[in-house]
Amino acid sequence: MPVAHARVRLLQAVFAPAKLTRPCGLPV
């Protein structure tokens, strides 16, 4: 679904900077 894909893109946009600051990664 396009909506689900958009949500994934949004999550990537939100968590990408978090991965840069926290290399350990988040429990997602």
pLDDT score recorded for residue 10: 87
pLDDT score recorded for residue 19: 62
What size, in residues, is the chain? Answer: 28
Kindly state the tokens that stand for 7: 């949500």
pLDDT score recorded for residue 2: 80
pTM for the whole thing? 0.42
Cα 23 to Cα 20: distance, rounded to the nearest angstrom: 6
pLDDT score recorded for residue 16: 74
As to burial, measured by CB atoms within 10 angstroms (0-12 exposed, 13-18 middle, 19+ buried), residue 21 is exposed
pLDDT score recorded for residue 20: 62
Positive or negative torsion for Cα 12, 14, 20, 25: negative
pLDDT beneath 50: ranges in the chain: none
